[in-house]
Amino acid sequence: MSKLLGSLFVISAVLVATPASASPRPEPASTASTGSYCSTSLSTGQSACFETEAALQQNVSASAELDLVYLYNWYNFQGGGGYKVLTGTHACSAETSSAEYYDGNLGNDYWYPNGLNMNNSITSVQTANQCDIKFFEGTNFTGASTPYINKCSFLGGGGTGDCPAGNWNDRASSYYIS
């Protein structure tokens, strides 16, 4: 019995002293926070969320990237329900012939670190730096789609102003930005 305990002690000591992996761990993709004001770099994939709108704006202003799109899960660009700023390294061209940035599955992107994802949850949208956004109903740019949008205060508005015809409130699953 003492031989068995001695062997277990040696094995335990070796396991404690041996690192689990010699390879470095990748950096986390997002900053831990429960805030509802978030940003995501479309160039690097890095995300961060903040408790206040002012903290989000300060972080985005301090970055070297440009604001491209503001996504809101409330109508009329209201930040009270939280929103997400998509940023990138370059402004969009005036042409919409090819996507300059894109996301094929909004179910993989989160509004907040609490797990609420962006799939079927966008209610209003504004763009910046010559960008326009085109939403698709399905993942991987499938199904019905909107024309390119510059600004829409309520995606369920059925074509008023720059908003697409039909009800696109809480319907987008993927997008192109051009």
In order along its 178 residues, the chain shows pLDDT tens digits of 444 334 433 333 333 333 332 322 233 344 445 678 888 999 998 888 888 889 988 988 898 899 999 999 888 988 776 788 999 999 999 888 899 999 999 988 766 555 667 888 899 999 999 999 999 999 999 999 999 999 999 999 877 778 999 899 999 999 999 9
- Residue 108's CB is within 10 A of a number of other CB atoms, namely 11
Q: Would 23 be classed as within a structural domain?
A: no
Please give the C-alpha separations between residue 173 and each of 13, 157, 158, 169, in angstroms, as whole numbers. Answer: 50, 18, 18, 11
pTM: 0.77
Residue 167, domain extent: 29-177
CB of 164 closer than 8 Å to CB of 92: no
State which H helix or E strand residue 102 sits in. Answer: strand 101-103
CB of 136 closer than 8 Å to CB of 144: yes
Q: What is the CATH number of the domain that holds 106?
A: 2.60.20.10
DSSP secondary structure code for residue 27 in this structure: P
The owner of tokens 């070297």 is 64
Q: How far apart are CA 132 and CA 134, in angstroms?
A: 7
Give the model's pLDDT for residue 32: 46
DSSP secondary structure code for residue 99 in this structure: -
Give the model's pLDDT for residue 26: 31
Q: Would 62 be classed as within a structural domain?
A: yes
Q: How far apart are CA 145 and CA 164, in angstroms?
A: 9
Q: Would 21 be classed as within a structural domain?
A: no
The owner of tokens 């797990």 is 115
Q: How far apart are CA 41 and CA 165, in angstroms?
A: 29
Total structural domains within the chain? 1
Please give the C-alpha separations between residue 58 and each of 67, 110, 126, 127, in angstroms, as whole numbers. Answer: 12, 20, 19, 19
Q: Would 3 be classed as within a structural domain?
A: no
Q: Would 118 be classed as within a structural domain?
A: yes
Q: Would 46 be classed as within a structural domain?
A: yes
Q: Would 131 be classed as within a structural domain?
A: yes
Q: Would 74 be classed as within a structural domain?
A: yes
DSSP secondary structure code for residue 117 in this structure: B
Q: How many residues does the chain have?
A: 178
